A and B are shown apart, each in its own frame.
Chain A
Amino acid sequence: MLTESVASRRLGEGYTRIEHPSGLTLMLCPMKGYSTAYALFATRCGSIDDSFSIGDGEMVQVPNGIAHFLEHKLFESEEGDAFEQYAKTGASANAYTSFDRTAYLFGCTDRFRESLEILLNLVTTPYFTEQTVKKEQGIIGQEIRMYDDDPDWRVYFNLLGALYQEHPIRIDIAGTVESIAGISADLLYRCYNAFYNLNNMVLSIAGNFEIKDVVEACDKILKPAAPVRVSTREVQEPDEIRTRRVEQTLEVAAPLFQIGFKGRAKSYRENILAQVTGELVCDLIAGESTALYRELYDEGLINAVFDTEVMAGPNYLVNIFSGESRDPDAVFARLTDGVRALQERGISEEDFERARRAAYGRYVGIYGNVESMAGMMVLAKLADFGAYEPLDLLGELTLNDAQAFLRENFDTERCALSVVRGPQEA
């Protein structure tokens, strides 16, 4: 069993990475003093994985929303719902699907070993029949319709749809009522066999537990799997955006907006690490410490819910500014002007240093929380970086790095505005 200790010099702590004989990678960070153990069992299979091939086989196209569908179906077994099993151990459990991954999780303060065994069994015992698939199509269909009415969700996906022409990131994670109608038990098994091979997965645990218990549970439950090579479709996304402005009418008190800049995507690893620099640059453009934020706020164009965010993954990188405004178009114009002005005059050394410190302090916090630490280790394995790399990167980041990010990833020709407003104002 290959065991590696990964330490952070800055924090004076570390985690253990184990390649288990079953093929599974274990990322384990016992954290002294914490009561909770938080475990994530994850695979690099997200909503964007709409086609794949195994080995040298041909590319299989699967319906949009299948990763999320699979997550729902795995959460129940022949013995019933996973919640019922976890109820007996007192753990709180859940699962989620995002663009680039699916994860099954629980948190507990007691009876860790039992909960872990439930988790390992759950994910490694698929059980799908045509009948249960039919039933799930109804349930997920309702969930999709509920999201269709959710203003925050719509303003977000409308933005992605405006920025991206081909990338499946533009499609709702749950798919559409039409696309999930095409899902069958057979397709679920094919998808499962490709993406749920232990060699492509990670078990990440942080907090109150012992490494020995995890290894024992894995030895007991996991059957060694022959490695498979899964290739996903290489997305051919044009540089250009689809459209610069998109608007939808829904029941909202104040109009919502999201403004996105389509960045220059590189490798998965590079995009995830670039996110750190991106967050800092977003702060320098319109964070609470900037003159631009102050002007927009004082003119009543934005309020305290204004926020910035960078979203990154395989073949995508987007910088997002979101909030509520009575005049989203004015915010859009001012923000793009602000970006151009900053690009022309350059970031000052003083502003950069302040933003770097702020980001550094926030990132240290990630490593002091069991949930965020477990999440960071999952991403580290899937996107192939060390879990402390983001912090080290901030420790050494230079003004030039930030300037380069600002030049490359804030093209005012490659940005869009998404608005959702109430019927009375439309």
Chain B
Amino acid sequence: MAADLMRTALAQGVSLSVLSDSKFKHNRLSVNLIVPMDAETISANALLPCLMRKGCEGCEDFTQLNRRLDALYGASLVSDVSKSGGNQIVTIGIKTLDDRFALGGEELVREGAELAARIVFSPVIRDGAFPERDFELERQFLIDTIEAQINDKRTYAVMRCRELMGRGDPAALQKYGTAAQARALTAKSAADAYRKLIDRAAVEIVFVGPGDPSQASQVMKRAFAGLERHPGPFIPARIVGRADEVHEVTERFDVAQSKMVLGFRTGVPVGPREQTAMRLMTALYGGTPSSKLFLNVREKLSLCYYCAARYDRISGILMVDCGVEQKNIEAAKSEILAQLEEIRRGNFEDETLENTRLQLKNSLRAVSDTPGSLEDWYLGRIIEGRVVSPEQEIRALEAVTRDEIIEAANQVTLDTVYLLTAKEDSDVN
């Protein structure tokens, strides 16, 4: 079992969270630079992890940096961008073999932390700009990634629905920004964005593993010492409690199968107990192979290729997404809503409820089995401002009653219907 989370402040706006766990064979250290989602800076910040991963002081180019990682027993470097609520997160992380397995007795926690600190604080920037060639390649890769999002229609449709439901809230924008913004960047403006990020970011450092966290903490403390920075607070997503009317949006592409996403509001900002009930309700509705949507919309009526529900407690949005033939769109929509009505009326078996609860508990317990899932779990909750362990969440899940599930279903109101469908208007009459 993982020990409890230990949090300490290393400097102003810099916190270290430690999860010591002797069962792992690697240590994972991540430095998360967190700033508000801002339409102006999203693309620049999304590009930074790719550029920072290209080299740093002491390992001046990509090849040298990778050779250093090899020498640290195949340490893997994580450089990524993500978002949580109204915050954009630039992550530089390193996973190193635990010291006790090092063939030559090296201090890998310390050496890994030192390398991570150099990547964060000393990327290769000359004359106020990233190296032109690296910049060009990585910017193009970012543009390609943004433009390729449309290739995966299922994910794209969900993303569009979320964006539409945000009504301009930056929290609803997507984490890479837009291709147009990426094109407007220069090697110099990216370096400016880097300096701004270091200056403004709230920093959450997470250490998970069997090793000695003080080795990592000393390195990080030194790295931040004496820096005059101006970090801001975390920004929550704007939650809209109820939908006043249903917004219908249709976009047409060259596709054979249509994708429909139903976006729901789940009530005014609620406490943890209601969130857990909503989570269980969503799983019962469309989160497992024995859920209402799976068994009825997909299996029994064969209206959809897939039909699933998900709940995001941070935005208070519940979404149902499905892949559907054009002629079945209306039938699928009314059946999806009819199944929600079933839960509202309490028409679900106790056995199905218990099986669903069991599956959720199963996945919560599994969180502690990999360093990556532990890190994701705690970082998300730290940013949200309410740290609970997976065990606490399991206990909350056990306490949810049938009535609370019915109550949760009654809080749900349909806000947006997003349809991604074929270009030719061949509606079936």
* Chain A residues closer than 8 Å to B74, beta-carbon distance: 357-362
| Contact size range, B | 35 or more
| A346-385, CB < 8 A from B | 354-355, 357-362, 364-365, 367-370
| B51-101, CB < 8 A from A | 61-63, 66-67, 69-75, 96-97, 101
* Chain A residues closer than 8 Å to B147, beta-carbon distance: 253
Chain A, 212-255, contact with B by CB distance < 8 Å: what is the 0/1 string? 00000000000000000000000000000000000000000110
Within the complex, the shortest CB–CB distance from B156 to chain A, in Å, comes to 13
Binds B, one of A20-28, A270-278, A298-306: A298-306
Interface secondary structure of B, over-half rule: helix
Q: Which residue of chain A has its CB nearest to the CB of B366?
A: A36
Measured in the bound complex, the distance between the Cα atoms of B61 and A290 in whole Å is: 12
Interface residue? A345 (CB, 8 A): no
* Chain A residues closer than 8 Å to B24, beta-carbon distance: 368
Interface residue? B23 (CB, 8 A): yes
Interface residue? A344 (CB, 8 A): no
Please tell me if the beta carbons of A110 and B63 are within 8 angstroms of each other in the complex: no
Q: Which residue of chain A has its CB nearest to the CB of B391?
A: A35
Interface residue? B122 (CB, 8 A): no
* Chain B residues closer than 8 Å to A109, beta-carbon distance: 361-362, 365-366
Q: Which residue of chain B has its CB nearest to the CB of A324?
A: B144
Please tell me if the beta carbons of A358 and B62 are within 8 angstroms of each other in the complex: no
Interface residue? B6 (CB, 8 A): no
Measured in the bound complex, the distance between the Cα atoms of B413 and A213 in whole Å is: 48
Please tell me if the beta carbons of A110 and B67 are within 8 angstroms of each other in the complex: no
Please tell me if the beta carbons of A35 and B21 are within 8 angstroms of each other in the complex: no
Interface residue? A341 (CB, 8 A): no
Please tell me if the beta carbons of A300 and B137 are within 8 angstroms of each other in the complex: yes
Q: Which residue of chain B has its CB nearest to the CB of A108?
A: B362
Interface residue? A291 (CB, 8 A): yes
| A107-137, CB < 8 A from B | 107-111
Chain B, 17-34, contact with A by CB distance < 8 Å: what is the 0/1 string? 000011111100000000
Other-chain contact of B62, A92, A108, A297 (Cβ < 8 Å): A297
New contact pairs (8) apart from A303-B141, A355-B70, CB-CB < 8 Å: A87-B359, A110-B362, A294-B61, A303-B144, A359-B74, A360-B74, A361-B73, A365-B97
Name 22 interchain pairs, CB-CB below 8 A, sorted by A.
A35-B1, A35-B368, A84-B290, A87-B288, A109-B361, A109-B362, A109-B366, A110-B358, A110-B361, A110-B365, A288-B62, A288-B66, A289-B70, A297-B62, A297-B137, A358-B70, A361-B72, A361-B96, A365-B97, A368-B23, A369-B370, A370-B369
Binding site for B on A (CB under 8 A): 10-11, 31-36, 83-84, 87-92, 107-111, 207, 253-254, 287-291, 293-294, 297-298, 300, 303-304, 354-355, 357-362, 364-365, 367-370, 395
